[in-house]
Amino acid sequence: MSKKNVLFFLLVLSLSFILMTYQSRKGNLFSTHFIDNILNASHAFTKSVTDSIASPFKKLAIRDEDNKLLRKRIDELLMERAKYQEAAIENKRLNELLGLRESRQRYVTAAKALSRGTDQWSHTLVLDKGQKEGVAKDMSAITPTGLAGKIFNVTKSYAKLLLLTDINFSAAVRLQESRREGIISGTGRKNLILQYIPYEEEIKTGDIVITSGLDQLFPPGIPVGFISKIDKKGTGHFQHIEVTPYIEDSKLEEVLIIK
């Protein structure tokens, strides 16, 4: 409020007080009407001042409401974008599985993971396909990157998959370059152990491990992983070799089941 407005307001109040005092002493009707006019003018002025002060706050309230609606719409658009991105990622995975299916004559069905084992050492998945889709015990499960595991339990509508990182998993394998055969075993962690490779065998980190098919469980030639650590002072005459699997079992969502 400007200084002029303040002075005018104080002047009006002072005049009102003086005239009210005068009226109480004289009882003059004219003074009463005059005071009413003064008070009405004072009220109008006060209302104008109050409105001028309140107006910015009303505008702020309206702006705040607009911002809330805008934020809500932005959140809705972000959720829609996330859904589209997830659909695009899933479509890419399914297309990769479809390409893998066309290259595999032993294809049975594609399956989706429904749930995961809760035991920290037990790496298993429940799949949405079972006997009615042709799934049977000991069938292999693969992904576009490599071996995922094997089926160990089947019902009419569901199947349980033992992942290759599980401590109960093992498979006959060979080194792709040297063709040396061995056994791969799960550890309950992210890595695998390659057993029965003699200490005199020349191997190096990065060497690729594939299934050999000699166990009559897994078809030959499926990529398993690559050698990530070598300790020639293993157990007895064999090296201690760690293998990093190609699959990331914690991110596994779909598999292809083959026989």
Q: How many other CB atoms sit within 10 Å of the CB of residue 195?
A: 17
Owning domain of residue 212? 170-247
**Residue bearing tokens 């009707």:** 29
- State the pLDDT at residue 230: 93
Q: Please, are residues 151 and 137 in contact by the beta-carbon 8 Å criterion?
A: yes
Structural domains of the chain, count: 3
Q: Is 226 in the same domain as 154?
A: no
Examine residue 1 and state whether it is found in any structural domain, yes or no.
Answer: yes
What is the C-alpha to C-alpha distance for residues 151 and 130, in angstroms, rounded to an integer? 10
Q: How many other CB atoms sit within 10 Å of the CB of residue 107?
A: 16
Q: Is 63 in the same domain as 93?
A: yes
116, 133, 163: which is the final residue of a domain? Answer: 163
Q: Is 9 in the same domain as 91?
A: yes
For residue 162, CA distances in Å to 150, 169, 186, 214 come to 5, 7, 10, 19
122, 146, 163: which is the final residue of a domain? Answer: 163
Helix or strand run (H / E) with residue 156: none
| pLDDT, tens digit (0-9, with 9 covering 90-100), for 3-22 | 555 455 555 555 555 555 55
Helices (H) and strands (E) in the chain, counts: 2, 12
Higher pLDDT, 210 or 46: 210
DSSP string, 46-93: HHHHHHHHHHHHHHHHHHHHHHHHHHHHHHHHHHHHHHHHHHHHHHHH
- State the pLDDT at residue 233: 76
141, 163, 185: which is the final residue of a domain? Answer: 163
Average pLDDT over residues 51-78: 68
Burial (CB count <10 Å: 0-12, 13-18, 19+), residue 163: buried
Listed in sequence order, the residues at least 6 apart from 195 whose beta carbon sits closer than 8 Å to its beta carbon are 182, 183, 184, 185, 238, 241
DSSP string, 94-119: HHHHHHHHHH-TTEEEEEEEEEE--S
Listed in sequence order, the residues at least 6 apart from 220 whose beta carbon sits closer than 8 Å to its beta carbon are 210, 211, 212, 213
Indicate if the alpha-carbon torsion angle 158, 161, 167, 171 is positive or negative.
positive
- State the pLDDT at residue 186: 96
Examine residue 259 and state whether it is found in any structural domain, yes or no.
Answer: no
| pLDDT, tens digit (0-9, with 9 covering 90-100), for 112-166 | 999 988 776 679 999 999 999 999 999 999 988 899 999 999 999 999 999 999 9
| pLDDT, tens digit (0-9, with 9 covering 90-100), for 218-227 | 999 999 999 9
Q: What predicted TM-score, i.e. pTM, was given to this entire model?
A: 0.62
Q: Is 113 in the same domain as 70?
A: no
- CATH code of the domain covering residue 190: 2.40.10.350
- State the pLDDT at residue 251: 86
Range picked from 51-60, 62-71, 206-215 for highest mean pLDDT: 206-215
Examine residue 258 and state whether it is found in any structural domain, yes or no.
Answer: no
Q: Is 156 in the same domain as 174?
A: no
Q: Is 116 in the same domain as 199?
A: no
| pLDDT, tens digit (0-9, with 9 covering 90-100), for 93-120 | 666 666 666 555 578 888 999 998 877 6
